């Protein structure tokens, strides 16, 4: 699907910000947004400062592109609504769902040993994937909170017999509330890699291009009119630059442009077109592309 948006009207809900503070350059250019979820809009079930306000302001010109491989878009939209963020499912581009789409389109007849949440497994079955426990052609790994030694053993055996290894995303963890660190798919992937000696043949999630391309497709906007906002330099910034998109980072890290989205909306930093290490080496100001 391609989402509709208003090109002429400025984002509503930001007038009180511009009235009291200098308008951030990236807001003044009225971009469409590709937003990360965990660590940017949410910390587990808690919305982060400025998230709800930003979604209201950009209600018709954003997508959320997340390495979440636990939920379907419908499930996640309900979870976000309970947390106070109203998001249409069509605005959620998720690594788990895109992994199922990849399996269906690229390997339509494959026997798939899928390690994933019950919800994603249901989605895979409803999408037509053939899920098996024996003689798998593909091992597909997403965030599986029931992952166990027995599961690790089964996956390792399948890879030893020649199954392909597909992973939804490689994030080792993401930030939870109060400094809590939440293990992610990448932690399970590392266990599989150590046990089997096999590396993934295909990774669906960020920083790979598939998620950003799907986000751009749904926005229906040229790359020069889109800004990526995330918290992870290794996925959000790297993926944005590889996709030819500008980006901004939030969070506690040294490379963050602002601590929260609320701070970012008041931040004078222009969106970046190159990676932090390239910025540090050049010391040259990055020129922001006109999107007027
Ligand atoms: Mg994140």
**Centre of ligand 1 from the C-alpha of residue 111, in Å:** 32
Give the range with max mean pLDDT: 8-17, 21-30, 39-48: 39-48
Give pLDDT tens digits for 181-207. Answer: 989 999 999 999 999 999 999 999 999
Q: Which residue is it, tokens 């079955």?
A: 125
Strand partners, 258: 250
**Centre of ligand 1 from the C-alpha of residue 134, in Å:** 35
pLDDT confidence of 176, banded at 50, 70, 90? confident
Report which of 173, 176, 194, 197 is spatially closest to residue 184, judged by C-alpha positions: 173
> Which pTM does this prediction carry?
0.86
Q: Determine which helix (DSSP H) or strand (DSSP E) holds 193, and give its type and residue range.
A: helix 185-196
**Centre of ligand 1 from the C-alpha of residue 230, in Å:** 6
**Centre of ligand 1 from the C-alpha of residue 168, in Å:** 15
**Centre of ligand 1 from the C-alpha of residue 161, in Å:** 35
3-state SS class at 194: helix
**Centre of ligand 1 from the C-alpha of residue 132, in Å:** 32
User: Which burial class, exposed, middle or buried, applies to 276 when counting CB atoms under 10 A from its CB (0-12, 13-18, 19+)?
Assistant: middle
**Centre of ligand 1 from the C-alpha of residue 200, in Å:** 21
**Centre of ligand 1 from the C-alpha of residue 229, in Å:** 9
- 135: DSSP letter: S
Report which of 219, 217, 216, 287 is spatially closest to residue 58, judged by C-alpha positions: 219
pLDDT above 90 for 65: yes
* pLDDT value at residue 281: 64
Q: Determine which helix (DSSP H) or strand (DSSP E) holds 281, and give its type and residue range.
A: helix 276-282
**Centre of ligand 1 from the C-alpha of residue 206, in Å:** 10
**Centre of ligand 1 from the C-alpha of residue 195, in Å:** 27
pLDDT above 60 for 106: yes
* pLDDT value at residue 282: 59
Least confident of 1-5, 170-174, 178-182, 229-233: 1-5
* pLDDT value at residue 82: 95
* pLDDT value at residue 283: 53
Report which of 129, 139, 141 is spatially closest to residue 169, judged by C-alpha positions: 141
DSSP secondary structure string for all residues of 218-279: HHT--GGGEEEEES-IIIIIHHHHHTT-EEEEBSSSTT-SBSSHHHHTT--PPPBSS-HHHH
**Centre of ligand 1 from the C-alpha of residue 130, in Å:** 31
Q: Which residue is it, tokens 């660190």?
A: 181
**Centre of ligand 1 from the C-alpha of residue 68, in Å:** 9
**Centre of ligand 1 from the C-alpha of residue 163, in Å:** 30
User: How far apart, in whole angstroms, are the C-alpha atoms of residue 81 and residue 192?
Assistant: 35
User: How far apart, in whole angstroms, are the C-alpha atoms of residue 75 and residue 70?
Assistant: 9
């Amino acid at each position: 699907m391609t989402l509709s948006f208003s090109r002429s009207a400025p984002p509503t809900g930001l007038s009180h910000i511009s009235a009291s503070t200098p308008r951030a350059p990236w807001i003044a250019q009225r971009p469409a947004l590709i937003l990360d979820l965990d660590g940017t809009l949410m910390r587990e079930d808690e919305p982060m400062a400025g998230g709800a306000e930003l979604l209201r302001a950009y209600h018709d010109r954003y997508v959320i592109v997340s390495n979440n491989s636990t939920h379907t878009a419908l499930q996640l939209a309900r979870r976000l609504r309970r947390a106070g963020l109203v998001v249409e499912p069509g605005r959620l581009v998720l690594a788990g769902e895109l992994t199922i789409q990849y399996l269906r389109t690229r390997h339509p007849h494959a026997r798939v040993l899928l390690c994933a949440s019950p919800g994603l497994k249901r989605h895979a079955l409803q999408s037509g994937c053939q899920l098996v426990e024996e003689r798998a052609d593909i091992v597909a790994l997403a965030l599986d909170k029931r992952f166990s030694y027995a599961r690790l053993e089964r996956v390792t055996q399948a890879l030893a017999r020649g199954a392909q290894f597909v992973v939804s995303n490689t994030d080792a963890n993401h930030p939870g509330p109060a400094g809590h660190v939440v293990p992610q798919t990448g932690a399970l992937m590392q266990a599989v890699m150590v046990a089997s000696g096999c590396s993934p043949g295909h990774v669906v999630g960020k920083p790979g291009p598939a998620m950003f391309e799907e986000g751009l497709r749904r926005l229906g906007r040229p790359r020069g009119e889109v800004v990526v906002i995330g918290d992870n330099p290794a996925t959000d910034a790297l993926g944005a630059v590889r996709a030819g998109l500008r980006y901004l980072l939030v969070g506690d890290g040294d490379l963050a442009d602002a601590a929260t989205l609320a701070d970012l909306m008041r931040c004078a930093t222009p969106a970046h077109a190159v990676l932090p290490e390239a910025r540090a080496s050049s010391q040259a100001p990055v020129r922001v592309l006109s999107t007027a």
